[in-house]
Amino acid sequence: MGGNETNLQPGLDFFAKLAKAGRLGLNDPTIAALEKGEVDVGIIWDFNGLNYRDTIDKTRFEVLIPADGTITSGYSTIINKYAKHPNAAKFAREYIFSDAGQINLARGYARPIRVEHLTLPADVQAKLLPEEQYKNAHPIADTAAWEKNAKALPRLWQENVMMTMKQ
């Protein structure tokens, strides 16, 4: 919608329009809420959406990445320096980043961070969204602006979106 971490208003305007149309609800997009039909539009991580879709009924839901852009985020791993067996933790991390570990994550619907360097088995590739859906996905570019705006977002969401929701 033309916004970014420095300008949240286009996104807030879009969701306000969905709220006015009665397309947003207060229910979290959990498996149970989706299955009952209590959620029309759910905003969740791609891996959760794919898992929920396949768990409930693959034909009932469409999972997609917004075509005009979206934010990507990775997970971080830590190794506790006081761990009883820190080298075992290092080996576990090495496995996660190996081809086998990345394919294993993809089996659970997670898009591997090294996806462009892997050949995923056909059954695993079929579980994931097509690569072209991610063409406009990018990490946050201005972390200082995001930190500032993320703190204001709950209030802005209430004022711009929730206040326009149909009862």
Rounded Cα–Cα distance for residues 126 and 162 (Å)? 37
Convert the pLDDT of each residue in 41-86 to its tens digit. 888 999 999 999 999 999 998 999 988 878 888 778 888 889 899 8
Convert the pLDDT of each residue in 136-147 to its tens digit. 988 999 999 999
- Rounded to the nearest angstrom, the gap between the alpha carbon of residue 124 and the centroid of all alpha carbons in its chain is 19
pTM: 0.81
Give residues with Cβ within 8 angstroms of 55, minimum separation 6: 31
Q: Left, alpha or beta for 22 (phi > 0: left; psi -120 to 50: alpha)? A: left
Convert the pLDDT of each residue in 19-40 to its tens digit. 999 888 777 888 999 999 888 8
Q: What is the pLDDT of residue 50?
A: 96
Domain ranges of the chain: 1-72+142-167, 74-138
Rounded Cα–Cα distance for residues 15 and 104 (Å)? 35
